[in-house]
Structure 1
Amino acid sequence: MDYQVILDRCNHPWRKLTETWRRARLLDNAVRDSEARHGKFDLILSHLHKTDRTVRQTPALDGDRTWFCLHGVFSASYLARKTGFSLWLKRLKIRHVYQDRQIVGVSQYVIDDMVQNIGVQPRQAKVIANPFDFESLARLAAEPCPLAGTDFLVYVGRFHETKRHDRLLEAYALSGITAPLVLLGQGSEKITQKLREQAQNSGIAERVRFEGFQRNPYPWKRHARLLVVSSDSEGFGNVLVEALSCGTAVVSTRCPGGPTSILTGELSRGLAEMNATSLAEKMREIYTTPPRLQHLDLSIYSLSVVCQQYLQLIQVAETSFSTTQHVSG
């Protein structure tokens, strides 16, 4: 893989105010220089909102070759805490970035949220799931786990309000499951302390293990009896696919985003409504009678399949360009 690092050397006190415009200019110069020497890029993919803002203002990247890849539910990530003028302004800024542009969503809901809640009308929209290197994942999962050989439940992810650890702890207490609940991840000291207090007040503190951030969480996913997702929204839900690939049963809230597209067929038994009572019932059900995972086919999420879907965007761009030329003529 070849790559080029574009340095932004600005250190002025007002650098934040001009950051997007300044970096767009640097990127534009770099793209034009590279294309002059090596030819036009066939496909341009932009990931993460801050990068998208820069790409939007880069003239050399304005065309059918450029796709903005959306990985999260924007209304939950960027609008949830805003009201009034602040809400209106933030929605306007997001809309400006993606309006009449080509977008890829990791789930259909990510696209629907952008259209319905942000008001974006994309030029084109495609759903392409996140890719997984299952061979590499299996190697990582084969490493030792401190709780191997014991029953435990696991949650993997950052401590953030949208992840609803409060719902998870309440559901765990209601479920009556005595196996430990292991929390892998970290967050602010305030949120962590609040969760510890909730566990203490619920009488489950001795069974809830705060293991912090783990460089390699896959052995925990492999050896767990059950992985649980309790979120209010999930752009895709990587941990669900990762746990299933390790042969571990999963339970998730039926939240906006990817879980409902991942947990289909018999796996849909693991979908809970977005409340602690329903989540507790599903945790207990799947813990005692897990679905059969021996012949589960996850190949639609493999690197080769997903990469091919991205490469097909080149044909979409060429078709769009050809149609535009025909209409113009």
Structure 2
Amino acid sequence: MIRISRTGRGGARRGGRGAGAAAAVTVLALAAVTAGCKVQPAGSAAADPSAPASSSPADDAKPGASEPAPASPSAKPSAKPSSSAKASPSPDPQGQVLMASGAQSKQVRELQARLRQIGHFDRSPTGYYGSVTVAAVQSFQGKRGLARTGKTDTVTWQKLLGMTHEPTAAELNPPTTLPVAKPDKRCLTGRVICISKNSRTLSWMIDGKVVSSMDVRFGSQYTPTREGTFSVYWKSRHHVSTIYHTAMPYAMFFSGGQAVHYSSDFAARGYNGASHGCVNVRDEGKIASLFAQVRNGDKVVIYK
């Protein structure tokens, strides 16, 4: 606050023109303070309206441009991030997808064969990447600490290659839908038709070695196929059932009226049907070859 001293008349007269000028300056100063204005110091650029405003360097200045003078300690950093500071996308940790649902190729068949080698795919390779293959890949990925995407990416594929061998022709196109079961110990000697109910497979074995394998089906719960050790006692190439009046080609009887034989119904309907106790084979070529090799007296072993 500016104080204005009072003077008497004599003082005003004695001051003359100089005193009047001083009083005028004082009044102008008081008016500036009460209006809220800030008086610029002499020589300031803002005091000259024609002076250009100072410019600051651009945020995305190109390399090689003259560097700006360092900012004063009190200067605030710019809130706008540099456009050149954008982070590049990080690579996908799972790698590139090679195969996924809906794919159909030889590589898919190889994938299924390799997964089958280590117990993640429980049927014959088909070459089609369906829901069963997705679940198998997820199972493999989960046990190896990988993301369970169900897609075969480069990381999953390389991990699988390192744990398996190159599939053989028989592994890529196996003789049975389900894996052939480990043979029962009763099948390891002599000439044996070795049949597993759990795997639904038949293996023709000689001295412990598998000669051929094929898919089979059995009787229903009301007409079950008997289990145990038997012998082939009669072969009938063009047999017809006297009870059901149905064809039983390549029949090899082992227990009463039960026999191993070809079934056109099995070939057409698959496992939707069942026999009346016989062991049905759906591949006519394989059962024809088996019929030609089997002799009366050869052993038949049927087990769970």
Normalising by the smaller structure, the TM-score range is: under 0.3
- TM-score (norm. length: structure 1): 0.20
Specify which structure has the higher proportion of helix. Answer: 1
- TM-score (norm. length: structure 2): 0.21
Give the number of the structure with larger relative contact order, counting CA–CA contacts within 8 Å between residues 6 or more apart: 1
Computing the radius of gyration from Cα coordinates, the structure with the larger value is: 2
